[in-house]
Amino acid sequence: MVLIKSKQDELKTLQPLKPFHPFKDVLGIPTKTNMQQIYPLNPKQLIQEYQLDRSQLAFTFCALGSDGQSRIEEWDTTVYSTVLTGKKEK
């Protein structure tokens, strides 16, 4: 497992961010469009809005598809880690 963190100035080019909602994504439930998706936020606003100083790991069981290559996510098996908090940069 590898944790990749972006520097604050790199957040300008990573927009729009897409929140992780496995059940909504699988069921095809649309995400509400809001003004933040239209107007990019500055890095400090992104960190605050998406709580980027906090994170969780999501573990989901995946079965191998009948073709032997594709995976089938079993979303009802998803478990989340405790909240991980990173150090704030000055």
Interval 46-88: pLDDT, tens: 888 888 888 888 899 999 999 999 999 888 898 989 988 876 5
Establish if 4 belongs to a structural domain. no
Q: Based on the structure, what is the number of domains in the chain?
A: 1
68: in domain = yes
Burial group, residue 17, by CB count within 10 angstroms (0-12, 13-18, 19+)? middle
Q: Prior bond to 30 cis, omega within 30?
A: no
**Residue 70, in any domain of the structure:** yes
Q: How far is CA 64 from CA 23, 70, 74, 90, in A?
A: 20, 6, 11, 45
Helix (H) or strand (E) holding 73: strand 71-80
The answer to whether residue 52 sits within a structural domain is yes
- Per the domain annotation, does 40 fall within a domain? yes
At 27, list the tokens.
């069921």
With respect to residue 28, please indicate whether it lies within any of the assigned structural domains: yes
Which is nearest to 76 in space by CA: 20, 15, 2, 26?
26
Domain that holds residue 24: 14-85
Task: Tell me, yes or no, if the pTM score tops 0.85.
Answer: no
- Which tens digits make up the pLDDT trace of 11-49? 878 777 777 776 665 566 665 555 445 577 888 888 888
**Residue 9 falls inside a structural domain:** no
